[in-house]
Amino acid sequence: MAPPAQILRLPPNRVWRTYLGGRELDRLAGTPAPLDAHFPEDWIASTTRALNPNAATLTEGLSSVCVGSDPVPRNFADVLAAAPENYLGAAHVARFGPTPQVLVKLLDPSIRLHFQVHPTAAFAQRYLDAPSGKTEAYHILAIRDDLPHEPYLYLGFQRPPTRAALRRMIETQDLAALEACFDKIPVNVGDTFIVPGGVPHALGPGLLLAEIMEPSDLAVRFEFERGGYTLPESARFMDRGLEFCLDIFDLSPWPAQRILAEALCPPRRARALGPDSFQDTLIGPERTSCFRIRKSYVRGPIQRNETEGFIGIVTAGSGTLTAGATTLPLHPFDKFFVPAALGPWQLQPSSTLELLECLSPKA
């Protein structure tokens, strides 16, 4: 008999990356001397392995979880495998198997990230023998107080080059020419952007954000040096070469009006959760078939009973979550997984709780 589903607590799962950051993640973890280094990401409820150069282990990126009130961490994939339908739902398991089919991270870059682009699912399946591409979304949680300029990201080429010109810029690492293809897109706390596969982009510095994406670490990084670190060949073109990777790029223009219409995702009221509580949809199936994102605002005690598993991140406020005999205190940036078969559970806010809820594709 499968073990009953329980709330899963999600401890930090820091992952090495080629760029610098992580100071704010250190602060959230209570590290005595927080600093920016090569661990700027926290992978949340992950069954996806990080494709790092010279990876120290084959398990980097894979999450451990704490089941209910048990303080001993367990491998997330093992917990799911023991009771996949209880945690993910029968329809999800029938379509996707015993994995979440979504990857969620906290990102905390101190520098602008490399210019990069990711394959679509169709491209990955056809040419890379991979089940998922890497359409992704960003939800801005905070901006560093000491940022010396307005926060921004790059999203799509506003002035797209020709394929031949792009090849030359990358081969010669003409960064001024590459940067001239983009405009800086201003961002604010609470903004949500979707970046479809194929769209070139780069996050600006000083943004603490939740990144929700297809469960993949496939990336074409067409800028080779950032923060004093030079990418090895294996971390540039997925071991396929530049000419192959040029087929991934969306070379259509992304002017401001297109970003507002197709990339920026304003919240839409979805349902009431109680007299003073409600839930907004940030990204639904009409935006992408890859994942879903919603945000709940809880101003009074409520009871919920979901039929789909989801990853929750406290983005503001505090309170408690009670499921059966387990009560979890909730504070900003705490993370948890709500199983599909959990049954009724209660939220008791001590101040307005804001919960970012990240879901798999609709089964």
- Is residue 2's pLDDT more than 80? no
pLDDT band of residue 55 (cuts 50, 70, 90) is low
Evaluate if residue 59 carries a pLDDT over 90: no
How many CB atoms are closer than 10 A to CB 35? 12
Q: Is the pLDDT of residue 92 over 80?
A: yes
Q: Write out the H or E segment, with its range, that includes residue 354.
A: strand 345-359
pLDDT in tens, 242-299: 999 999 999 999 999 999 999 999 999 999 999 999 999 999 999 999 999 999 999 9
| Domains with residue ranges and CATH for the chain | 8-263 (2.60.120.10), 268-359 (2.60.120.10)
d(CA 116, CA 63): 25
**Tokens encoding 86:** 């209880």
> For the chain, how are helix, strand and coil distributed in percent, rounded to 5?
15, 35, 50
Instruction: pLDDT band for 211, please (50, 70, 90 cuts).
Output: very high
Q: What is the pTM of this model?
A: 0.96
pLDDT band, residue 234 (cuts 50/70/90): confident
- Per-residue pLDDT, 325: 87
Average confidence score pLDDT of the chain: 95
pLDDT at 56: 56
**The predicted structure's pLDDT at residue 3:** 79
pLDDT at res. 54: 63
The whole-number average pLDDT for the span 298-321 is 97
Confidence band of 52 (pLDDT split at 50, 70, 90): confident
Q: Percent of the chain scored above 90 by pLDDT?
A: 93
In whole angstroms, what separates CA 351 from the centre of its chain?
26
Of residues 57 and 85, the one with the higher pLDDT is 85
What's the token pair of residue 85? 């339908």
pLDDT range class, residue 53, cuts 50, 70, 90: confident
